[in-house]
Amino acid sequence: MIKAFENYEVWFVTGAQLLYGGDAVKQVDGHSKEMVDGLNDSGNLPVKVIYKGTANNTHEVEDIMVAANADKHCIGVITWMHTFSPAKMWIHGLQKLQKPLLHLHTQYNKTIPYDTMDMDFMNLNQSAHGDREYAHILTRLRKPRKTVIGYWKDAKTQEHIAVWERVCAGWADAHDCLILRFGDQMNNVAVTDGDKVAFEQVFGYHVDYCPFSTVMTYFDKVKDEDVTALVHDVYFKQYTVKDDLKDEKSEGYRKIWNSAKAELTIRAVLEDFGAKGFTTNFDDLGDANVEETGRGFDQIPGLASQRLMHDGYGFGAEGDWKSACLYRTTWFMSQGIEGGTSFLEDYTLNFDGDKTSILESHMLEVNPDISEEEKPRLEVHFLGIGIRKSQTARLVFTTKQGRGITATVVDLGNRFRLIANDVNLIKSKPLPKLPVASALWIPEPTFEVGVGCWMNAGGTHHSCFSFALSDEYWRDFAEIADVEACIINKDTDYEQFRKELRWNEVYYMLNKSLR
């Protein structure tokens, strides 16, 4: 079990009935307990599985599902039909269930005992029968769920359950997630805007505005000695810093010190509000006369954003609250898996045949977790954008190479669409005159198809990247949220993808009417 998920649990419910007698149900119960113990002891599941017994009639099913809804530790329910469980008895419980659902199609026995199998064995071991009956009612109810098919002891089966558990954890976290907006969206930008009320209805995230006047009350309370300690005891030890920037009389040191004060300010606000993420806007940074008054950020808090992303806070630049929400979930689901995550933005293209790629970066805000350097460089350079045009600190590095996935959510007016694209990060050449953190990637299946599908789907120029996740995570997340998922990978065909976008318009209109 991953320590980050130690307060969560997933419930396991076995479907049965009393048609075959009480002794048969006792065997079902014993087999189920053994299976749950085996899943927990496998070491492959990040969240503990709790066995909640057999459900033998409508009232038992309903009681378990209502209890799951009310239990703050329960983040999802796994159901399995050991024997034949008439599906009409599941209707009321499934209608009331509000937690994520996984249907496990497995069997206690791995193989058929040809030489000894009798009618008693047949009556007891009917997953091939009962799971189809149960799956029918899930489909009839239009119930979102994940279906995992395979022997319960197999690592591959357990890995699919583990992915779903991580997504359930991310889903639970999203429903207890406050994002603070320090400033509004960038003026006239469409894709980062959207309906916050509908977004909370669908995904659970709560997004609030925090005036910069409020931020300044925390800024004024930050102690100079705490800022100096952060600079010397953390920044100068964790990062590569040139000697001239360590000179306390230099402008570079002062800019690093100012960045540290911005970090402590934002941390204090987030902790006090109980927020799990934030957005910034380079046009809203406090007192416009900061050089004279000393009240405000002397430049956008890039270094603070980089370090706060490392600690799991959601972040979106230019007021992009949807990315701040999704980044928090990206990071949360990735805990305990090697690789790293970051907010990124598409910047510029490098046309080079089969190696045509996109430079990913942002002005300052890229998570050092994806750096190929053990100690990123802490540097100070001029940034001439927004309300402040001045020198500012940032971590500079190039990213690791390898395969990852990037994701975004867009508001289409009548629904939300989740878009994810497998990408391959490649080695970048040095950028001596562009002192920012950057990545260079080739979208799958090819640059032309990957970019074309992303753009046809209405994808953003901001996205949330992870080395640790796969498209299975985002498919599960979209299934739980009951939103459209557009996955772009090595198997994607451009024209087929465009057709599916059109089909999806019809599907989601009809699906809504059926409910």
Spatial neighbors of 432 by CB under 8 A, at least 6 apart, are none
Q: What's the domain range around 263?
A: 178-514
227 and 279 within one domain? yes
Whichever domain contains 84, its CATH number is 3.40.50.10940
320 and 263 within one domain? yes
159 and 10 within one domain? yes
Q: And the tokens for 307?
A: 């370090």
Question: How far apart are alpha carbons 191 and 320 in whole angstroms?
Answer: 9
Query: Number of structural domains, the chain?
Result: 2
184 and 84 within one domain? no
109 and 60 within one domain? yes
Mean pLDDT over 370-398 rounds to 89
Query: What percentage of the chain exceeds 70 in pLDDT?
Result: 96
Is the overall model pTM greater than 0.85, yes or no? Answer: yes
pLDDT of residue 287: 65
429 and 297 within one domain? yes
Strands 389-396 and 377-384: antiparallel
- If you average pLDDT over every residue of the chain, what do you get? 93
197 and 149 within one domain? no
Q: Are 85 and 138 in contact (CB under 8 A)?
A: no
Residue 252 host element (H or E): helix 251-273
In angstroms, what CA-CA distances link 130 with 13, 15, 104, 113?
14, 8, 11, 19
Q: Are 310 and 263 in contact (CB under 8 A)?
A: no
Q: What are phi and psi of 82, to 5 degrees?
A: -65, -45
232 and 155 within one domain? no
328 and 301 within one domain? yes
pLDDT higher than threshold 80 for residue 387: no
**pLDDT tens digits, residue range 491-510?**
999 999 999 999 999 988 87
Which of 8-17, 106-115, 291-300, 441-450 holds the top average pLDDT?
441-450
Degrees to nearest 5, angle at CA 482 with 46 and 202: 95
Diameter of the chain by CA atoms?
90
pLDDT higher than threshold 90 for residue 445: yes
Nearest to 164 by CA among 100, 110, 115: 100
- pLDDT tier, 289 (very low <50, low <70, confident <90, very high otherwise): low
* CB atoms closer than 10 angstroms to residue 218: 18
229 and 155 within one domain? no
Q: What's the N-to-C CA distance of the chain in angstroms?
A: 37
182 and 133 within one domain? no
Considering 139, 158, 173, which residue would you say is the last residue of a domain? 173
Considering 148, 173, 198, which residue would you say is the last residue of a domain? 173
Considering 173, 189, 221, which residue would you say is the last residue of a domain? 173
Question: How far apart are alpha carbons 470 and 462 in whole angstroms?
Answer: 18
208 and 122 within one domain? no
Mean pLDDT over 410-427 rounds to 96
pLDDT of residue 101: 98
